[in-house]
Structure 1
């Protein structure tokens, strides 16, 4: 591959490669999730050392032909500070989802924009926007990788939704009508349709964030079940960490 320069990206994971170097998983706008070796990045004198941080917008340069390419340059774009507290853990949760669900070298430019917008929300002082932003990102992630069914119809029959009838989103069946004795979380047909319209909007992150704010308590467990199912786990590591910290 020719050298790529000035590519927007975020470091989503890093681990040791040698005494002085790191392997990075970087989410880029035009190339998707890529693996880069940052040679000498652990040395105190390295220019990479203060830059290669999670949840910070970067411009990266890289090159190479193999599965793991070589990082040639990285600059901090700026614009916001590092999230802290619950927002920081939420950012690590997003990174785990990207790492588990996105294949390498599979571009998702619109999802990258949603990720960047969510990171901006995490870094701000408005805690009330945190949960809606995460729900919006989860919906857009599932949609972009082809795992979210159409939310404005019943998945198995393609029948339209009743505005006042309640439906659940299930990992193995999609949107199904809830039974009267069903204890699972659900939304009305009108609410599911409003989410689908938001996903189809020209600015889907902002539109979905506004819609999700109205029924987060019902939406959260359904999306969590979907994500756990497709990640092949009963509990994501970052989610378990949040539970453990809250129990202290």
Structure 2
């Protein structure tokens, strides 16, 4: 049973802490929730306290889990490069031979990169610039920045696009469809938009989005190590910056 306090969808940048499922968190996000932490520690949780301190900051700092030492950054300029990059990342992080764990990391990288390529860029009329069924070479200034790193505690993954189009409404709508309306997960005219983000949220421990509207979007994730991971401990944070 959920122990989450009542969520007020009319409150701006409300931090909500409790112990609940990702399905319950998806409902809060669909209702406009921007900062959600499921934890046994409540508002005393280290990550929740860190988020609370960031809410009044004009330029929120990275969460501690985003500050992985020896983090690598790779530029990706086409859809065809992503498979080679994903394999390289798993080898670089030393998890290639760890069955199950490496598959999770590969899935997260694949979905974030795919989302960045096919949903970050638009034509003048607002339609998607690139189709999911096409091979894409990104134009100058559109290359993705893929960052990844590993520590004894877990895996950090971040994908930055140069479009800045991923809104909280997009995320909330996708999460709601996938958790509550599974017969209609894919919206055809949106090229399945959002299903990949739902898969990522379901797999990772911490999920953070930094949106710079019309400029760029940074989606960052943390996958806790097997000895540390617990399905009830997770967070979602959405920061709209430069608005």
| TM > 0.5 fold call | no
Bigger CA radius of gyration: 1
TM-score for the superposition, normalised by structure 2: 0.28
Between 1 and 2, higher relative CO (CA 8 Å, sep ≥ 6) is seen in 2
**TM-score if structure 1 supplies the norm length?**
0.27
